[in-house]
Amino acid sequence: MRKLIYVALIAASISPFTALAANDQQDIEHMSVLYRAPLEYAAYQYTTEMLSNFNLQLLADIYVQARMSSLQMAKEQSLMSNKISMEQQHDKSLASTGVMTSAE
């Protein structure tokens, strides 16, 4: 019985140290990038900004199209009255939102 208690105490005392060792092995990987010329960095920045703007516009367009589809389905099922404000009836696609700007 005493041996079982000793084994349990030793296992309990070692377990915090094994947890600390496991945390040391999970470091975040770091990556550094060297650009050969300022033009390469500028091209990278421009591409990153364009892709992030496109993704935001795409998400906004998906939301607007889903909302308009939901309104249209509700209207067809007579769940909503025919009086939808003019603001909601406008097409808000990517081309008409005016969000996309040219590079300066």
Are residues 55 and 99 in contact, defined by beta-carbon separation less than 8 angstroms? Answer: no
Task: Give 27's DSSP letter.
Answer: P
Q: What is the pLDDT of residue 62?
A: 95
| pLDDT for 52 beyond 90 | yes
pLDDT of 92 above 90: no
State percent of the chain over pLDDT 70.
59
- 32 by DSSP, 3-state: which? coil
pLDDT at 104: 45
43 belongs to a structural domain: yes
Q: Are the CB atoms for 100 and 94 separated by under 8 Å?
A: yes
- Domain containing 84: what range? 37-89
Asked if residue 81 belongs to a domain, the reply is yes
Total-model pTM: 0.40
Measured in whole angstroms, the distance separating CA 29 from the mean position of its chain's CA atoms is: 20
The count of domains in the chain is 1
Token readout for 53 is 């703007």
3-class DSSP assignment, residue 34 = coil
- Flag whether 60 is in a domain: yes
On whether residue 29 sits in a domain, the answer given is no
Q: Is residue 78 part of a domain?
A: yes
Residue 57: partners with Cβ closer than 8 Å, 6 or more residues away: 94, 97, 99, 100
Structural domain contains residue 17: no
| Domain annotation covers residue 12 | no
Give a yes or no: residue 4 inside a domain: no
